[in-house]
Each structure stands twice: as structure tokens, then as C-alpha cells.
Amino acid sequence: MDENTELLPSFVVQGRLLPCDTVRKTFKTPDWKVATMVSNNWIEKSKDAYYVGAAVIGLASAVYWYYKDDAIGAMVRVDKSVPRFKIHNPIFGGLLAMLKNVDESGNLISDEINDPGFDKAKVLTIPFAEPTIFVNDPESVEYITSTNFDNYVKGDYTKARMTDVLGNGIFNTDGHDWFTQRKLAAKILTNRNFKVNIETVFTDNIQIFINVLNQAVQEGQDVDMHSLFHRYFMDSFGEIAYGIEMGSLSKGIPNYVASFDRSQSTMGDRFINPFYRLADMLNPFLKTDVKLIREFGRKVVEDRKNGVHAGNKSDLLSLFMEQRNEDGTELSTDELADHVINFILAGRDTTSQALSWTLYCLYENPAAKAALVKEIDEILGSQLIPEYDQIKKLKYATAVFKETLRLYPSVPREGKLALNNDVLPNGVKIPKGAIVGFCPYAMGRSEKLWENASAYKPERWLNSKQPSNYVYTAFMCGPRICLGKNLAELQGVFTLVSILKNFDFEILDPLVVKQKMSLTLPMKNGLMCKITKRK
């Protein structure tokens, strides 16, 4: 073997591939040796590619197999005996379908857990997040919201997604902080205060509402009832709870109102987007929205402290200002602002959205609308605004409001973090750190819970036997049941009756009425209506 031949193996091993002419001239190598050299080099490279490819395929297969039942990075693994959502994909879980149908996620969840094959529970997972185990039976709902209340909390899962906006308010807390805020709020939500508020605050503000609609009729303008309801309830609740006159119906929409709406959508998106922190960084509105909302809350508090708004000793802000921390110190301006922001959202959004969906349901069900108008005319006679004592006589109007909330609950879904391993009454094992959820939107559409569930039938509420709070979950249930349930029904019926006594309405394009992903259930495109004066 000559010197040039001995160089060949070293050349091949090092992976250097010189042009054939260069090899010949440099090493005086025959053509067959050059061909051998090229062939051997190709084989070596193919082996390397094969090993790398095999490793990649093996790793991908292992990841696929490990995460075929749960999305990649799932914080907790749920027993495989609990079925996954049909939209589940290995690696991504239900993320892709949820993002694709983000504003219709309520219908997506409803279809999954109202499927005839649904048994005890179903799991929805998204990457790098806690899995949610959805239940749909009243016994399990009662268990997680009442029987074993202490084990199922808001926890860090909720706080991480809501604290920048809601702070340490009632919707974002557990334990002592939650109990204290609830106890104080209960003091103003009494029947005595309901009567006073209906006869003063709501009567004054409904007259402003009627004047706005009268002007629209005179000018031939169409109106967005969804927006007007939000402004009306913001004005009313601001006056009841904080003694402030916002005047958004008469003076126009303050700039922070849009921030309230956008921030709720942002917080809602965070519960289905595992990369919400990145989305927050790319959100062009978020920083300004949070700033405006927090400034609004602080201004309400500072104005009260400086005597700009006197309020009264029994309103909600006064009660919170009298409260002391565990060390005896007064609540700071920021702490008080948390309470202002939380209760404004509660007082404004839930009832305004319920009434928006009520108008939509009545438009889609003219027989129910005719029956309601007939009752209103019979009880009110020539009166244009109902009195407090008349509201209790409006049985069908109350049934209409409840039937709407059955199908369009203002809080469409709820989830609680399990602090410890547990077993539900139906035998489903709950691992520590998982989210256990139920969906009032889906429960209201369950044929197992409601006869002819998809039909809009206010008459079902005229029976003497009423469903339990664990079947009709529109106002939540257990110790966290909505404190304002009775007030919401009262002011909802009062407002609905006042509007329909004075006006008729026609939704301009029912097909564009869509849900929007949020903490609550707003309308994505508003509710544009043509208003006419009733004769």
C-alpha cells in the first residue's frame, strides 16, 4: 500500500470530500479509489443522519406517548379512567380548539359535557397549566362548593390571572379576606335597602334611561341596548354603593368604562391561553387599561376621604373604610380601591348582561314577549314605572328573567383549585393541584336537569317547586352564592318592565348577536335595536 493510499482512510473519517480532480492530482489516486472514497464518505454521513433521526423520532415518540392523555407540561396528571374532551389532541390537549372557538367556548364546553355519553366527569387540558376536571351533576357541584368547601379555593391559579386588575377584592380571595368582605357587603344588601334604592336611585336613573330612549325615538336613531344597560347599572350601583354620581347615561361614557370591558376579556383569555404572560406583553391596551381602572378605584376612595362625595354611613364604601386590618391599621387607599373595583364589576356587568340576553330571548320568542307585555299592562295600568310593591306581583316577568339566566348565566363557568387529593361523591379521583370546574351555561342546557332544556319557557318557573341552587347555578351556590341575587332579580325585573311599558324594540340583525369570551357573558357586537314608543 503506497503513501497516498494510506491517506485515504484518514481523509474519509475526517469527512473531507475534495473534488475528484484535486484528489487525483494531489494523491495520484486512480478513479476507482476516488469513487470508493466518495461512497464511503456518503455512508458515514448517512449513518450520522440515521442516528440523529432515530434519536429525534424516539424522543418525539416518547413525548407523544407520555402526553397523549394530557397536554404537554400538564401541572397535574389526572387518572386515565376519567375521559378527556373529544377536542383533545396529544401534546396540545384542548388548546387548539379552544383558541379557534374562543368566543364560543361556552358552547364548546356545553357540547362536551352534555354529550349523551358523558358519565361522571371530563378533563380539559392545555399545555403548561393545571387540568380542569368538569362535572355536571348537582351532587358534585354541591360537594365542591359547599360540603368540602375548604378544599376548593380560588388559589394562586385565579390570583395569577386576575390580581393586576382586581387586586385583593372579593372575587380574587379566599379565607379571612373573602369572609370579611362578604360580611360587610351583606349589610347593604337587605330587603329594607332594596325598597329604598328602588324608590330613589333606580327610579331616578330609569327616568334618565327613558329620556335617552325618547330622544333616540325622536331623532330616529338606533341604539345599542347592551351599552345602555351597562351605563345604567354602573350609574345606579355607583350611587348605591359609593354615593357617587357617574352620569354615564346623561353625560357620556367615561374612558375607563372601555378599560373595564377589555380587562375582563383579557382576564378571561388568560384562563385558556397558557402563554398569557407573553400575550400580555403584546397587548397594546393592557397597561393603560389597568392604570385607568386602578386610578378610578383610588379616585372614588380619595374623593370620599376629601369630602368630595359625602355618601352615607351605611353605604358599602363607608363600611369598608370603617374596617381595620388584623393589626388594627386602617385599610390603605389601594386596598379600598380593590373593593370599589370588584363591586362595581359585580353591580354593573351581571345584571346588564342578563337584561341584554333577555331582550334577545324575547325577540326570538314572540309568544313569551306578548305574555310579558300583557302582564305588565294588567298590573301597571297607566303607570309608566313600577312601584316596589308591584314588582312582587310581576310573576311572569320574574320567570322571564330567571329563564334567561338559565340559558345565559352572567358567570358562565367556574373553577376551583383542589388543595388536597380528594374523591367526589360520584367516585372521580381529584388530584391535588387540579382544577374542578362546573359550567352554569352547560348545566342550564342539560336535558338530564331540565325538561326540554333548549326551549325558552318562562312558564317552567311558575310552578311552586323551584330547582335547587345546585341545579340552577346562574348565581353560583354554597357559601359563595351571589350576595346580590335578590337585588339582581329585583332591579332586573324593575328595569325590564319599565322599558317594555314605555317602548317596543326590534333587534336590527339577530345573526350578529354573539357571545364574547370574558369572565362574564357579554355580547361581542352589542345589541343594536330600533326603538319605538308604545301607544
Here the CATH number for the domain that contains residue 464 is: 1.10.630.10
pLDDT at 239: 87
For residues 160 and 22, state if they share a domain. no
Query: Considering the domain boundaries, does residue 49 fall inside one?
Result: yes
Whether the pLDDT of residue 317 is over 70: the answer is yes
Q: What is the mean pLDDT of residues 441-447?
A: 96
pLDDT at 16: 47
Cell digits of residue 247? 352620569
Binding residues for heme: 482
Query: Considering the domain boundaries, does residue 292 fall inside one?
Result: yes
For residues 484 and 344, state if they share a domain. yes
Separation between Cα atoms, residue 109 and residue 170, nearest integer Å: 26
Q: Which of 27, 61, 95 is the last residue of a domain?
A: 61
Query: Considering the domain boundaries, does residue 79 fall inside one?
Result: no
Structural contact between residues 77 and 130, judged by C-beta atoms closer than 8 angstroms: no
Q: What residue has cell string 387586586? A: 167
Q: Which of 61, 84, 111 is the last residue of a domain?
A: 61
Whether the pLDDT of residue 83 is over 70: the answer is yes
Which residues touch 163 (CB under 8 Å, ≥6 apart)? 172
For residues 383 and 520, state if they share a domain. yes
Whether the pLDDT of residue 394 is over 50: the answer is yes
pLDDT at 5: 40
Query: Considering the domain boundaries, does residue 212 fall inside one?
Result: yes
pLDDT at 64: 60
- CA nearest 435: which of 156, 119, 100, 164? 156
pLDDT at 354: 97
What is the number of domains present in the chain?
2
pLDDT at 97: 92
Q: What are phi and psi of 17, to 5 degrees?
A: -120, 100
Q: β-strand 435-438 against 414-418: which pairing, if any?
A: antiparallel
Cα Rg, the chain, nearest whole Å: 31
Most confident of 7-11, 317-321, 352-356: 352-356
Write out the E strands in 112-185.
122-124, 132-134, 152-153
Whether the pLDDT of residue 36 is over 50: the answer is yes
pLDDT single digits (tens) 218-235 = 999 999 999 999 999 999
Spell 493-512 as b/e; 16+ CB within 10 A means b. Answer: bbbbbbbbbbbebebeeeee
Separation between Cα atoms, residue 7 and residue 63, nearest integer Å: 45
Could you list the residue range(s) of the whole structural domain that residue 8 is in? Answer: 3-61
pLDDT at 1: 42
Confidence of residue 63 (pLDDT cuts 50, 70, 90): low
Confidence of residue 464 (pLDDT cuts 50, 70, 90): confident
For residues 353 and 496, state if they share a domain. yes
For residues 48 and 174, state if they share a domain. no
CA distances from 217 to 212, 233, 234, 356, 444 (A): 9, 22, 23, 19, 36
Whether the pLDDT of residue 40 is over 70: the answer is no
For residues 56 and 160, state if they share a domain. no
Binding residues: 482
Query: Considering the domain boundaries, does residue 18 fall inside one?
Result: yes
pLDDT single digits (tens) 131-185 = 999 999 999 999 999 999 999 999 999 999 999 999 999 989 999 889 988 888 8
Amino acid at site 11 = F
pLDDT single digits (tens) 368-384 = 999 999 999 999 999 99
For residues 186 and 296, state if they share a domain. yes
Separation between Cα atoms, residue 86 and residue 93, nearest integer Å: 10
The residue that leads in pLDDT, 88 or 499, is: 499
Query: Considering the domain boundaries, does residue 109 fall inside one?
Result: no
Whether the pLDDT of residue 31 is over 60: the answer is no
* Least confident segment among 261-265, 320-324, 439-443: 320-324
Cell digits of residue 9? 482512510
Query: Considering the domain boundaries, does residue 336 fall inside one?
Result: yes
The residue that leads in pLDDT, 256 or 85, is: 85
For residues 32 and 172, state if they share a domain. no
pLDDT at 316: 84
Whether the pLDDT of residue 298 is over 50: the answer is yes
For residues 56 and 190, state if they share a domain. no
Query: What is the maximum span of the chain, computed from C-alpha positions, in angstroms?
Result: 120
pLDDT at 35: 54
pLDDT at 69: 83
Whether the pLDDT of residue 86 is over 90: the answer is yes
For residues 349 and 491, state if they share a domain. yes
Query: Considering the domain boundaries, does residue 101 fall inside one?
Result: no
The residue that leads in pLDDT, 355 or 485, is: 355
Q: Which of 61, 83, 109 is the last residue of a domain?
A: 61
Confidence of residue 190 (pLDDT cuts 50, 70, 90): confident
SS3 for 437? strand
SS3 for 450? coil
